[in-house]
Amino acid sequence: MNWALAIPEIVLSVCGMGILIVGVLRRQDSTFLCSMLTLGAFLLAAILSVSTVQGIGYHGQFVIDPFSGFVKLLIIAGAALCLILALDYNRKQRISRFEFPVLMLFSVVGMMVMASASNLMTLYLGLELQSLALYVLAAFARDDVRSSEAGLKYFVLSALATGLLLYGISLVYGFAGTMDFAQIARAASDPVHVSPGLVVGIVFVLVGLAFKISAVPFHMWTPDVYEGAPTPVTLFFGTSPKVAAIAVMVRVMVHPFGHLTDQWHTLIVIVSIASMIWGAVAAIGQANIKRMMAFSAIGHMGYALIGLAAGTAVGIRGLLVYMVIYVFMTAGAFACITAMRRNGRSVEMISDLNGLARNDPALAGAMAVAMFSLAGIPILSGFFAKLYIFLAAVQAGMWTLAIIGVLTSVVGAFYYLRVIKVMYFDAPAEQFDARSPSLTFVAAVTTLFTTFFFLFPAPVVGAAQAAAQALFG
Amino acid sequence: MIYAVAVFAPLLGAIVSGLLGRSIGDRAAEAVSILVMVVAAICGVTSFIWIGFLHEPDGTVDIGSWVVSGSFRTSWTLRYDTLSAVMVGMVTFVSTLIHIYSVGYMEHDAFPRYRFFAYLNLFTFAMLMLVTSDNLLQLFFGWEGVGLASYLLIGYWYDRPSANAAAIKAMMVNRVADLPFAVGIALVFLTFGSIEFPIVFAGIQQHMNDMYHVLGSDWRAYEVIGFLLFIGAMGKSAQIFLHTWLPDAMEGPTPVSALIHAATMVTAGVFLMARMSPIMSYAPGALTFVTIIGGTTSLFAATIGCTQFDIKKVIAYSTCSQLGYMFTAAGVAVYQASIFHLFCHAFFKALLFLGAGAVIHAVSGEQDMRKMGGLWKKIPITYTVMWVGSLALAGIFPFAGYYSKDAILEAAYSAGGVGYYGFWCGLIAAGLTAFYSWRVIIMTFHGPSRMDHHVEEHVHESPWVMMGPCIVLAIGALIAGFTLRHEFIGEGWPEFWRDSIVITASNHVLANMEELPGWVGIAPTLVGLLGIATAYTFYMFVPSLPGRMASMFRPIYLLFYNKWYFDEIYDALFVRPGFWIARTFWQVGDVTLINGVPDGMAALTADGARGISKVQTGSLAVYAFVMLIGVVVLVALYLLIR
């Protein structure tokens, strides 16, 4: 048994437990120390993820391939950005506790397991590990009613979704006789003789995962949780778990159910279209910027799903590139949202941004770049994300998806541009509190990535190409 | 090489006075633009003398590569041959005088003057690029450049709606002509594989029998190209059907009119015919068309000139008419005569316009001749130069027009065929030309004063900065004809023009001109004198006669007076339908569809946003319910699709 395949996860788990012990044993507040140690552990895990040999281990339950490596790196990067943002935010909100980085760390372990799952059981295990940590994180500001409500809502609805997923897994197991991806693929290799039970199972699995990426109609939790959770946690919800969930969805749909593409692809199309339209339209009415970002996330997941709906290596490549760009531009936007503090209190209405360009041109600039990019304006990275996706859709002959995608981007541009208009053309409101260096760091890194992606797209696109090829073998 | 200096000095002037004019002030801008023009004129005239009289060899000046795309190559190159040098010498010389004149004329203008001088420089530069180009694309660059500069100058007084309308009209009419011209250039490339003159002209014999197959019929390549290029020339040179912009262009300041009519812009079409003579000479069908249009224009414009009351409009129509002569000559493939007339015409037409400008200056901006009269004692110098200009225009011995116009009419007659049509049109027009020229002189300078008291007090001779150029031009109008006729159209023409003008071996028109019946040579002068006598009879001795004639031949008079109703016909045929189509597109396409659809979509989206917000209640039960509904729908769909 090649146990070394899971070295990054093992190391990260051990580190997590070690950091937990450090946090508990030290008498003084050790949040900063634990956060730094967690960041170190992330770095270590990232290096190990890149350098681990490839192969299948643990009796076919665990797979390391370029796809899993790509996804793991992205998950870790997203988590690290959130953690850096949280350092200062949590202290100011007086919710600074050392458990925060540890919870994040274990959540990341769960996501990494998801990314490497090659068995429905492994998948479930990873999913549950990350979800358990997320429930606590959502309610981390436990004295805040909205945060508690967010945690509770996410817990209940997630439990429902997990139930559906488990039910789907059991149906698949019952009708295919196995939970191993390769063997399911063999069982489904003759689409004519696939039983309806297996098909229903696939739908339920899909639904369970669609909940995690907040695709319509399983998105209802998203605005409430985004609004209620502490801002860095909101960002975390928006990045790593979505990457992990969509990666798992891609792997499950392409690998074990790959022979049934013609059948599930319609469902993905429907979910994708519904998400794009819902995300674009619903965001218009929002006054709270975190809620707006929730709908924005729903819309963006719709775009990413176009890549899966295309069902080709080019499509998956587009999806992976989309996720990379999405993580960075969302992080940029949330870095700016985190900076929205006035007199020691966090504010989150769009109108609070009035005239920001005059009070803090740098922050307004970063926010404007993030918004333009989210809207898909050339030459920012968000444009290329959409370009690769639409390209794949057109190549696969899915004109409807591409056209709806373009149209909803136009509608979506409205609310992104509104933020910019508020910042640049409205009368200045009161100034925000001074920004912390960590926040400025995140905003700068993400803004630079978003702005200059067009100069060096090759590494990202090349890695995504390799990852997509690995899935299609 | 001084040749390049002549071409690029005006560009330098345009840049300096245009971009820095605001900071260095009007006076400095004027000084700079006149200085560069003087330099250009010295260089230009020197080049002309060197190549024309000292027999310097032809050459080119390479500036650099411009467009390289596949087999299509074009470079910025100045062509130095007699034809170009004649034009460069004439353009720089006349333009310099007009620049100097403008200092006096624009003295009291309300607008900042540096803009005006920058445009004048730019105009001259564009014209020089046009005449010196070594390929059709660079020629087109200059062609569009003069179009742009004329637009800017005609609309120089941009606060006058009529000036703006005239500027737009000039632009639009030229645009109509430019399309066939551009197509013609494309066809030259298609046929010869290049638009560089040396390559095109070297391939003339090779492609002699090329055909285009269009809609089942065959057309000779040269005929089609020649025809299309001539359409372009018609627009720039204001020939009948495309002439309507020229009289309206009088909305610009008078020096601009002089520049447009004498040195730049309108002569471009005539120059193009001469430049493309290697192709045109082998397109007899196109040449016939050129003669017909040219002859018709000369007569038609002269008839209108006889009835106008605006002093500048009369001269404008006379330009139109004289251009008709030049095309008549080009049509019978005697390009030498047409360039000769162009050259002489530049002097006396610039003179007439500058003289008219001096008159207008004297009577406080009035242009209507019915409100002038009796001026000759008050502004004697202006009166004299107007006489000189008119004598030259009417073709009276020994003024320039006598030699050049006679040459054209003799050439037309000796060419025979369609040339007779050109001859008779030209002969009648010569009489009319003399008539309206003296009508201008008599109405303006003689008879009782019809000015109001206030204006009459202010009548004064123009300053020397204005009269100086007029006098120089008057001398030119007097001597240009007999000093240059030997080289331009006489026996010296083969070594003067050398290869710059090509006529076919079978073309003996120039030689035959010596053997015409005697009356052909005398007729133009006689007709001219008759015209002058008629004018005296009508306007000096029997002043009631014009009115009687007008009422007796009322339909014809109205036809002439209303410029043959061209503007009205075009208005009904093109402008109104154009507006109607535009309005339809605007109302239906833009307001209803392009505005309506997005507005509707936006309203729909806003409604959708409100509706969705209602679904997002915050109730956990509703959320769970939506999820379950989703599952059911998806499962149902999936099972249905299978």
* pLDDT, tens only, A139-170: 999 888 999 999 999 999 999 999 999 999 99
Largest Cα separation within chain B, whole Å, is 114
Tell me the pLDDT band of A229, cut-offs 50, 70 and 90: very high
Of A38-42, A196-200, A397-401, which range is least confident? A196-200
Tell me the pLDDT band of B367, cut-offs 50, 70 and 90: confident
The torsion angle over the Cα atoms of residues A329, A330, A335 and A339, rounded to 10 degrees, is: 120
What is the percentage of chain A residues whose pLDDT exceeds 70?
100
- Residues 6 or more apart whose CB falls under 8 angstroms from that of B517 comprise none
pLDDT at position A453: 92
pLDDT at A193 over 80: no
Got the DSSP string for B234-257?
Answer: HHHTT-TTS-THHHHGGGS-HHHH
**Per-residue pLDDT tens digits for A46-88:** 999 988 788 888 888 999 999 999 999 999 999 999 999 999 9
What is the percentage of chain B residues whose pLDDT exceeds 70?
100
**What does pLDDT average to over chain A?**
92
Q: Which residues of B523-548 are buried (b: 16+ CB within 10 A; e: fewer)?
A: bbbebbeebbebbbebbeeeeeebee
Subunit contact A281:B608, Cβ cutoff 8 A? yes
Is A184:A178 a contact under the CB 8 Å cutoff? yes
Q: Give the phi and the psi of residue B72 in degrees, each rounded to 5.
A: -90, 115
Is B124:B10 a contact under the CB 8 Å cutoff? yes
Beta bridge partners of A148: none
Subunit contact A217:B626, Cβ cutoff 8 A? yes
Q: How far is CA B137 from the centre of its chain?
A: 18
Taking the CA atoms of chain A, what radius of gyration do you get in angstroms? 21
Is A405:A386 a contact under the CB 8 Å cutoff? yes
Distance CA A415, CA A296 (A): 9
What is the percentage of chain B residues whose pLDDT exceeds 90?
22
Is A84:A107 a contact under the CB 8 Å cutoff? no
Partner residue opposite B627 with nearest CB, options A160, A281, A283:
A160
pLDDT at B513 over 80: no
pLDDT at B506 over 80: no
User: Of residues B213 and A204, which shows the higher confidence score?
Assistant: A204
pLDDT at position A1: 59
Subunit contact B609:A281, Cβ cutoff 8 A? yes
Contact list in B for residue A153 (CB cut-off 8 A) is 620, 623
Tell me the pLDDT band of B505, cut-offs 50, 70 and 90: low
Distance CA A360, CA A365 (A): 9
Closest-CA distance of chain A to residue B635, Å: 6
Distance CA B98, CA B451 (A): 28
Distance CA B592, CA B579 (A): 18
Chain A residue with minimum CA distance to B610? A285
Subunit contact B606:A156, Cβ cutoff 8 A? no
By DSSP bridging, strand B211-214 and strand B217-220 are: antiparallel
Chain B residue with minimum CA distance to A223? B616
A200 touches chain B (CB under 8 A): yes
Between the two ends of chain B, the Cα-to-Cα distance in Å is 84
**What does pLDDT average to over chain B?**
87
**DSSP single-letter state for residue B108:** T
Distance CA B448, CA B117 (A): 38
Strands (E), A17-76: 55-57, 62-64
Between the two ends of chain A, the Cα-to-Cα distance in Å is 23
**Per-residue pLDDT tens digits for B123-169:** 999 999 999 999 899 999 999 999 999 999 998 888 889 899 999 99
Over residues B72-85, the mean pLDDT reads 88
**Per-residue pLDDT tens digits for A352-390:** 999 999 989 999 999 999 999 999 998 899 999 999 999
ipTM, two decimals, is 0.87
pLDDT at A12 over 90: yes
Closest-CA distance of chain A to residue B583, Å: 29
B622 touches chain A (CB under 8 A): yes
Q: How far is CA B34 from CA B12, B27, B39, B96, in A?
A: 11, 11, 9, 7
Is A217:A274 a contact under the CB 8 Å cutoff? yes
Is A274:A311 a contact under the CB 8 Å cutoff? no
Write the single-letter amino acid at A360. Answer: D
Which of B605, B619, B632, B639 has the highest number of chain A CBs within 10 A, making it the mutation to test binding with A?
B605
**Per-residue pLDDT tens digits for B587-612:** 888 888 878 887 887 888 888 888 87
Subunit contact B638:A411, Cβ cutoff 8 A? no
Closest-CA distance of chain B to residue A259, Å: 14
Distance CA A192, CA A85 (A): 52
**DSSP single-letter state for residue A260:** G
Q: Give the phi and the psi of residue A56 in degrees, each rounded to 5.
A: -120, 135
Structure tokens at B472: 């120089």
Closest-CA distance of chain B to residue A450, Å: 29
**A351: helix, strand or coil:** helix
A326 touches chain B (CB under 8 A): no
Q: State yes or no: cis peptide before B398, omega within 30 of 0.
A: yes
Q: Is B552 exposed, middle or buried (0-12, 13-18, 19+ CB in 10 A)?
A: exposed
Subunit contact A200:B635, Cβ cutoff 8 A? yes
Which of B638, B639, B641 has the highest number of chain A CBs within 10 A, making it the mutation to test binding with A?
B638
Q: Is B566 exposed, middle or buried (0-12, 13-18, 19+ CB in 10 A)?
A: middle
Write the single-letter amino acid at A252. Answer: V
Tell me the pLDDT band of B520, cut-offs 50, 70 and 90: confident
A285 touches chain B (CB under 8 A): yes
Over residues A315-340, the mean pLDDT reads 94
Query: Could you tell me how many CB contacts below 8 A there are between chain A and chain B?
Result: 86
pLDDT at position A43: 95
Of A131-135, A151-155, B381-385, B454-458, which range is least confident? B454-458
Of A124-133, B273-282, B560-569, which range is least confident? B560-569
pLDDT at B65 over 90: no
Distance CA B125, CA B127 (A): 5
pLDDT at position B585: 85
pLDDT at B62 over 90: no
Q: How far is CA A343 from the centre of its chain?
A: 32
Contact list in B for residue A249 (CB cut-off 8 A) is none
pLDDT at B265 over 90: no
A226 touches chain B (CB under 8 A): no
Cα atoms in the Cβ-side hemisphere of radius 13 Å centred on B526: 6
A263 touches chain B (CB under 8 A): yes
Subunit contact A200:B626, Cβ cutoff 8 A? no
Is B325:B302 a contact under the CB 8 Å cutoff? no
Structure tokens at B195: 């638009």
Over residues B216-227, the mean pLDDT reads 87
Is A138:A225 a contact under the CB 8 Å cutoff? yes
Is B440:B355 a contact under the CB 8 Å cutoff? no
Over residues B393-418, the mean pLDDT reads 86
Subunit contact A267:B634, Cβ cutoff 8 A? yes
**Per-residue pLDDT tens digits for B193-216:** 888 888 888 888 888 888 888 777
Tell me the pLDDT band of A112, cut-offs 50, 70 and 90: very high
pLDDT at position B494: 79
Write the single-letter amino acid at A32. Answer: F
**Per-residue pLDDT tens digits for B469-494:** 999 999 988 888 888 888 888 777 87
Write the single-letter amino acid at B633. Answer: V
A466 touches chain B (CB under 8 A): no
Which of B610, B627, B629, B637 has the highest number of chain A CBs within 10 A, making it the mutation to test binding with A?
B627
B494 touches chain A (CB under 8 A): no
Got the DSSP string for B511-567?
Answer: HHGGGS-HHHHHHHHHHHHHHHHHHHIIIII-TTHHHHHHHHTHHHHHHHHTGGGHH
Contact list in B for residue A264 (CB cut-off 8 A) is 638
Chain B residue with minimum CA distance to A263? B642
What is the percentage of chain A residues whose pLDDT exceeds 90?
74
Chain B residue with minimum CA distance to A208? B631
pLDDT at position B205: 85
B624 touches chain A (CB under 8 A): yes
